Amino acid sequence: MSNYRALVLATLALAFVVVVVGAYVRLSDAGLGCPDWPLCYGQPVPAQMPDDLAHAKAWTEMGHRYLAAALGLLLLFVFFMSLRKRQSRSLAAALVLLVVFQATLGMWTVTMLLKPALVTAHLLGGMAMLALLVWLALQQFDFVGDPRTRAVRLPVLLGLVAGVVQIALGGWVSANYAALACPDLPGCMGQALPPMDFANAFHVLRELGHTGEGELLPREALTAIHWTHRVFALVLVAVAGWAALKASRIAALRPLAALTGILLLLQFSLGVANVALGLPLALAAAHNAGAALLLISLVVLNFFAFRGLRPFR
Protein backbone atom coordinates (compact mmCIF):
# COMPACT_ATOMS: atom_id res chain seq x y z
CA MET A 1 0.00 0.00 0.00
CA SER A 2 1.36 3.43 -0.95
CA ASN A 3 2.08 5.99 1.74
CA TYR A 4 -0.47 8.36 0.22
CA ARG A 5 -3.23 5.75 0.21
CA ALA A 6 -2.43 4.82 3.82
CA LEU A 7 -2.51 8.48 4.82
CA VAL A 8 -5.90 9.03 3.17
CA LEU A 9 -7.37 5.94 4.86
CA ALA A 10 -5.99 7.00 8.26
CA THR A 11 -7.47 10.47 7.76
CA LEU A 12 -10.82 8.95 6.85
CA ALA A 13 -10.79 6.79 9.99
CA LEU A 14 -9.97 9.80 12.16
CA ALA A 15 -12.70 11.87 10.48
CA PHE A 16 -15.25 9.20 11.42
CA VAL A 17 -14.01 9.28 15.04
CA VAL A 18 -14.23 13.09 15.11
CA VAL A 19 -17.82 13.01 13.84
CA VAL A 20 -18.88 10.41 16.43
CA VAL A 21 -17.07 12.14 19.29
CA GLY A 22 -18.58 15.47 18.20
CA ALA A 23 -22.02 13.90 18.47
CA TYR A 24 -21.14 12.59 21.93
CA VAL A 25 -20.05 16.09 22.99
CA ARG A 26 -23.38 17.50 21.88
CA LEU A 27 -25.48 14.71 23.35
CA SER A 28 -23.68 14.76 26.70
CA ASP A 29 -24.36 18.50 26.94
CA ALA A 30 -20.63 19.25 26.93
CA GLY A 31 -20.70 21.75 24.07
CA LEU A 32 -19.96 24.58 26.47
CA GLY A 33 -17.72 22.51 28.73
CA CYS A 34 -15.06 25.03 27.76
CA PRO A 35 -16.71 28.45 27.39
CA ASP A 36 -13.76 29.95 25.47
CA TRP A 37 -11.94 28.93 22.29
CA PRO A 38 -9.45 27.51 21.41
CA LEU A 39 -8.29 27.19 25.03
CA CYS A 40 -10.33 25.95 27.99
CA TYR A 41 -10.71 28.57 30.70
CA GLY A 42 -7.58 30.15 29.25
CA GLN A 43 -5.52 26.96 29.42
CA PRO A 44 -4.58 24.30 26.84
CA VAL A 45 -5.41 21.54 29.33
CA PRO A 46 -8.53 21.77 31.54
CA ALA A 47 -7.57 22.49 35.14
CA GLN A 48 -9.07 20.58 38.03
CA MET A 49 -12.48 21.97 39.01
CA PRO A 50 -14.46 21.62 42.25
CA ASP A 51 -17.36 20.15 40.25
CA ASP A 52 -16.42 16.72 38.85
CA LEU A 53 -19.18 16.88 36.23
CA ALA A 54 -17.96 20.25 34.93
CA HIS A 55 -14.41 18.89 34.82
CA ALA A 56 -15.54 15.84 32.85
CA LYS A 57 -17.44 18.02 30.37
CA ALA A 58 -14.39 20.25 29.91
CA TRP A 59 -12.24 17.24 29.08
CA THR A 60 -14.90 15.89 26.73
CA GLU A 61 -14.99 19.17 24.84
CA MET A 62 -11.21 19.58 24.74
CA GLY A 63 -10.73 15.97 23.69
CA HIS A 64 -12.87 16.66 20.66
CA ARG A 65 -10.87 19.78 19.88
CA TYR A 66 -7.58 17.85 20.05
CA LEU A 67 -8.94 15.20 17.70
CA ALA A 68 -10.24 17.86 15.30
CA ALA A 69 -6.84 19.58 15.33
CA ALA A 70 -5.13 16.29 14.52
CA LEU A 71 -7.58 15.79 11.66
CA GLY A 72 -6.76 19.24 10.32
CA LEU A 73 -3.03 18.42 10.32
CA LEU A 74 -3.62 15.12 8.52
CA LEU A 75 -5.70 16.90 5.89
CA LEU A 76 -2.84 19.33 5.31
CA PHE A 77 -0.49 16.39 4.80
CA VAL A 78 -3.01 14.87 2.37
CA PHE A 79 -3.12 18.13 0.43
CA PHE A 80 0.67 18.51 0.18
CA MET A 81 1.09 14.88 -0.89
CA SER A 82 -1.64 15.31 -3.51
CA LEU A 83 0.34 18.24 -4.95
CA ARG A 84 3.48 16.15 -5.07
CA LYS A 85 1.72 13.20 -6.68
CA ARG A 86 -0.39 15.43 -8.96
CA GLN A 87 -3.61 13.57 -8.21
CA SER A 88 -6.94 14.57 -6.64
CA ARG A 89 -5.54 18.03 -5.97
CA SER A 90 -8.88 19.83 -6.24
CA LEU A 91 -10.59 17.42 -3.85
CA ALA A 92 -7.73 17.64 -1.35
CA ALA A 93 -7.81 21.43 -1.55
CA ALA A 94 -11.57 21.43 -0.96
CA LEU A 95 -11.03 19.31 2.16
CA VAL A 96 -8.50 21.79 3.54
CA LEU A 97 -10.90 24.69 2.96
CA LEU A 98 -13.68 22.68 4.57
CA VAL A 99 -11.65 21.91 7.69
CA VAL A 100 -10.83 25.62 8.07
CA PHE A 101 -14.54 26.40 7.76
CA GLN A 102 -15.30 23.66 10.29
CA ALA A 103 -12.84 25.16 12.77
CA THR A 104 -14.53 28.53 12.34
CA LEU A 105 -17.94 26.97 12.93
CA GLY A 106 -16.57 25.22 16.01
CA MET A 107 -15.39 28.55 17.40
CA TRP A 108 -18.70 30.26 16.64
CA THR A 109 -20.65 27.38 18.16
CA VAL A 110 -18.94 28.06 21.49
CA THR A 111 -18.70 31.86 21.38
CA MET A 112 -22.31 32.24 20.17
CA LEU A 113 -23.64 29.86 22.83
CA LEU A 114 -24.78 26.89 20.76
CA LYS A 115 -27.03 28.63 18.27
CA PRO A 116 -28.99 25.79 16.60
CA ALA A 117 -28.10 26.92 13.08
CA LEU A 118 -24.37 26.84 13.89
CA VAL A 119 -24.55 23.49 15.68
CA THR A 120 -26.41 21.94 12.75
CA ALA A 121 -24.04 23.48 10.19
CA HIS A 122 -21.09 22.12 12.19
CA LEU A 123 -22.58 18.63 12.03
CA LEU A 124 -23.22 18.89 8.30
CA GLY A 125 -19.68 20.15 7.72
CA GLY A 126 -18.29 17.12 9.52
CA MET A 127 -20.47 14.77 7.49
CA ALA A 128 -19.47 16.53 4.25
CA MET A 129 -15.80 16.10 5.17
CA LEU A 130 -16.40 12.42 5.84
CA ALA A 131 -18.16 11.97 2.49
CA LEU A 132 -15.40 13.72 0.54
CA LEU A 133 -12.75 11.63 2.27
CA VAL A 134 -14.61 8.46 1.32
CA TRP A 135 -14.63 9.60 -2.31
CA LEU A 136 -10.92 10.48 -2.12
CA ALA A 137 -10.08 7.12 -0.52
CA LEU A 138 -11.95 5.21 -3.24
CA GLN A 139 -9.95 7.07 -5.89
CA GLN A 140 -6.77 5.48 -4.51
CA PHE A 141 -7.82 2.00 -5.64
CA ASP A 142 -7.99 0.42 -9.08
CA PHE A 143 -11.44 -0.88 -9.95
CA VAL A 144 -12.75 -2.64 -13.02
CA GLY A 145 -14.92 -0.67 -15.43
CA ASP A 146 -18.53 -1.80 -15.60
CA PRO A 147 -21.01 0.47 -17.45
CA ARG A 148 -23.94 -1.53 -16.07
CA THR A 149 -23.55 0.19 -12.70
CA ARG A 150 -24.51 3.50 -14.31
CA ALA A 151 -28.10 2.24 -14.56
CA VAL A 152 -28.67 3.00 -10.86
CA ARG A 153 -27.30 6.54 -10.83
CA LEU A 154 -30.68 8.19 -10.25
CA PRO A 155 -31.87 5.96 -7.37
CA VAL A 156 -28.57 6.03 -5.48
CA LEU A 157 -28.28 9.80 -5.94
CA LEU A 158 -31.80 10.31 -4.59
CA GLY A 159 -30.94 7.99 -1.71
CA LEU A 160 -27.89 10.09 -0.89
CA VAL A 161 -29.90 13.33 -1.07
CA ALA A 162 -32.55 11.86 1.25
CA GLY A 163 -29.83 10.75 3.64
CA VAL A 164 -28.31 14.24 3.77
CA VAL A 165 -31.71 15.84 4.39
CA GLN A 166 -32.40 13.40 7.22
CA ILE A 167 -29.00 14.07 8.79
CA ALA A 168 -29.76 17.80 8.67
CA LEU A 169 -33.14 17.22 10.32
CA GLY A 170 -31.54 15.00 12.94
CA GLY A 171 -28.95 17.68 13.64
CA TRP A 172 -31.75 20.23 14.03
CA VAL A 173 -33.52 17.92 16.49
CA SER A 174 -30.35 17.53 18.55
CA ALA A 175 -29.37 21.21 18.37
CA ASN A 176 -32.80 22.20 19.71
CA TYR A 177 -32.95 19.43 22.36
CA ALA A 178 -36.13 18.11 20.76
CA ALA A 179 -35.24 14.41 20.77
CA LEU A 180 -37.93 13.58 23.34
CA ALA A 181 -40.53 16.11 22.22
CA CYS A 182 -42.60 13.13 21.06
CA PRO A 183 -42.09 10.58 23.87
CA ASP A 184 -44.40 7.87 22.54
CA LEU A 185 -44.65 5.60 19.50
CA PRO A 186 -45.89 5.33 16.81
CA GLY A 187 -47.78 8.59 17.22
CA CYS A 188 -46.76 11.76 19.02
CA MET A 189 -48.49 12.40 22.34
CA GLY A 190 -51.12 9.92 21.25
CA GLN A 191 -51.88 11.68 17.97
CA ALA A 192 -50.84 11.32 14.36
CA LEU A 193 -50.89 15.12 13.99
CA PRO A 194 -50.25 16.79 17.35
CA PRO A 195 -50.35 20.59 17.75
CA MET A 196 -47.27 21.95 15.97
CA ASP A 197 -45.64 25.32 15.34
CA PHE A 198 -43.58 25.00 12.15
CA ALA A 199 -42.86 28.72 11.77
CA ASN A 200 -40.88 28.93 14.98
CA ALA A 201 -39.57 25.37 14.70
CA PHE A 202 -37.67 26.08 11.50
CA HIS A 203 -36.78 29.71 12.07
CA VAL A 204 -33.04 29.43 11.46
CA LEU A 205 -31.59 32.68 12.83
CA ARG A 206 -32.49 32.50 16.49
CA GLU A 207 -30.99 31.76 19.88
CA LEU A 208 -31.17 28.33 21.49
CA GLY A 209 -34.53 27.80 23.17
CA HIS A 210 -36.01 31.06 21.84
CA THR A 211 -38.09 32.23 18.91
CA GLY A 212 -36.84 34.74 16.40
CA GLU A 213 -38.51 37.46 18.50
CA GLY A 214 -36.64 36.38 21.64
CA GLU A 215 -39.53 34.65 23.39
CA LEU A 216 -39.25 31.14 24.81
CA LEU A 217 -39.63 28.47 22.14
CA PRO A 218 -43.05 26.86 22.60
CA ARG A 219 -43.51 23.13 23.09
CA GLU A 220 -45.39 22.99 19.79
CA ALA A 221 -42.23 24.10 17.96
CA LEU A 222 -40.16 21.31 19.52
CA THR A 223 -42.90 18.86 18.60
CA ALA A 224 -42.80 20.05 14.98
CA ILE A 225 -39.03 19.57 14.84
CA HIS A 226 -39.18 16.03 16.19
CA TRP A 227 -42.26 15.06 14.15
CA THR A 228 -40.66 16.23 10.91
CA HIS A 229 -37.53 14.19 11.55
CA ARG A 230 -39.60 11.14 12.41
CA VAL A 231 -41.80 11.39 9.31
CA PHE A 232 -38.85 11.99 7.00
CA ALA A 233 -37.25 8.83 8.40
CA LEU A 234 -40.05 6.96 6.61
CA VAL A 235 -39.20 8.86 3.41
CA LEU A 236 -35.54 7.91 3.80
CA VAL A 237 -36.41 4.25 4.33
CA ALA A 238 -38.51 4.30 1.15
CA VAL A 239 -36.02 6.18 -1.04
CA ALA A 240 -32.78 4.61 0.20
CA GLY A 241 -34.47 1.21 0.34
CA TRP A 242 -35.51 1.62 -3.30
CA ALA A 243 -31.92 2.58 -4.18
CA ALA A 244 -30.56 -0.50 -2.41
CA LEU A 245 -33.13 -2.71 -4.14
CA LYS A 246 -32.27 -1.34 -7.60
CA ALA A 247 -28.54 -1.70 -6.90
CA SER A 248 -29.02 -5.30 -5.72
CA ARG A 249 -30.18 -6.24 -9.22
CA ILE A 250 -26.64 -5.59 -10.47
CA ALA A 251 -24.43 -8.48 -9.36
CA ALA A 252 -21.34 -6.29 -8.88
CA LEU A 253 -23.20 -3.96 -6.49
CA ARG A 254 -25.18 -6.61 -4.61
CA PRO A 255 -22.91 -6.76 -1.50
CA LEU A 256 -22.88 -2.96 -1.20
CA ALA A 257 -26.63 -2.81 -1.68
CA ALA A 258 -27.13 -5.41 1.05
CA LEU A 259 -24.87 -3.45 3.41
CA THR A 260 -26.82 -0.26 2.70
CA GLY A 261 -30.10 -2.02 3.41
CA ILE A 262 -28.78 -3.45 6.69
CA LEU A 263 -27.48 -0.05 7.82
CA LEU A 264 -30.78 1.57 6.87
CA LEU A 265 -32.80 -0.87 8.97
CA LEU A 266 -30.32 -0.62 11.85
CA GLN A 267 -30.50 3.17 11.81
CA PHE A 268 -34.29 3.15 11.78
CA SER A 269 -34.32 0.68 14.66
CA LEU A 270 -31.91 2.83 16.67
CA GLY A 271 -34.18 5.83 16.16
CA VAL A 272 -37.17 3.89 17.45
CA ALA A 273 -35.16 2.53 20.39
CA ASN A 274 -33.99 6.01 21.37
CA VAL A 275 -37.58 7.18 21.75
CA ALA A 276 -38.79 4.00 23.42
CA LEU A 277 -35.94 3.94 25.96
CA GLY A 278 -35.83 7.68 26.70
CA LEU A 279 -32.66 8.62 24.77
CA PRO A 280 -29.85 6.84 26.67
CA LEU A 281 -26.54 8.51 25.84
CA ALA A 282 -24.83 5.42 24.38
CA LEU A 283 -27.80 4.66 22.12
CA ALA A 284 -28.07 8.28 20.99
CA ALA A 285 -24.36 8.34 20.10
CA ALA A 286 -24.80 5.04 18.23
CA HIS A 287 -27.64 6.64 16.24
CA ASN A 288 -25.25 9.38 15.11
CA ALA A 289 -22.58 6.82 14.24
CA GLY A 290 -25.18 4.88 12.29
CA ALA A 291 -26.05 8.00 10.31
CA ALA A 292 -22.38 8.42 9.40
CA LEU A 293 -22.05 4.78 8.32
CA LEU A 294 -25.23 4.97 6.23
CA LEU A 295 -23.92 8.13 4.58
CA ILE A 296 -20.65 6.36 3.78
CA SER A 297 -22.46 3.41 2.20
CA LEU A 298 -24.57 5.73 0.03
CA VAL A 299 -21.48 7.70 -1.05
CA VAL A 300 -19.75 4.44 -2.01
CA LEU A 301 -22.75 3.35 -4.10
CA ASN A 302 -22.75 6.73 -5.85
CA PHE A 303 -19.02 6.46 -6.54
CA PHE A 304 -19.38 3.16 -8.40
CA ALA A 305 -22.60 4.17 -10.15
CA PHE A 306 -21.35 7.51 -11.46
CA ARG A 307 -17.88 6.28 -12.34
CA GLY A 308 -19.16 3.20 -14.13
CA LEU A 309 -17.04 0.88 -12.01
CA ARG A 310 -17.51 -2.39 -10.14
CA PRO A 311 -16.06 -2.93 -6.65
CA PHE A 312 -15.25 -6.61 -7.10
CA ARG A 313 -13.53 -8.43 -9.93
So which residues are the catalytic ones?
61
Chain Cα centroid distance, residue 212: 26
From CA 126, how far away is CA 140, in angstroms rounded? 22
Q: Could you give the CA distance from residue 14 to residue 221 in angstroms, rounded to a whole number?
A: 36
Which residues 6+ apart lie within 8 Å of 114 measured at CB? 31, 32, 175, 208
Sign of torsion, CA 151 155 158 164?
A: negative
Contact 106, 37 (CB under 8 A): yes
Judge whether 224 and 197 are in contact, CB under 8 Å.
yes
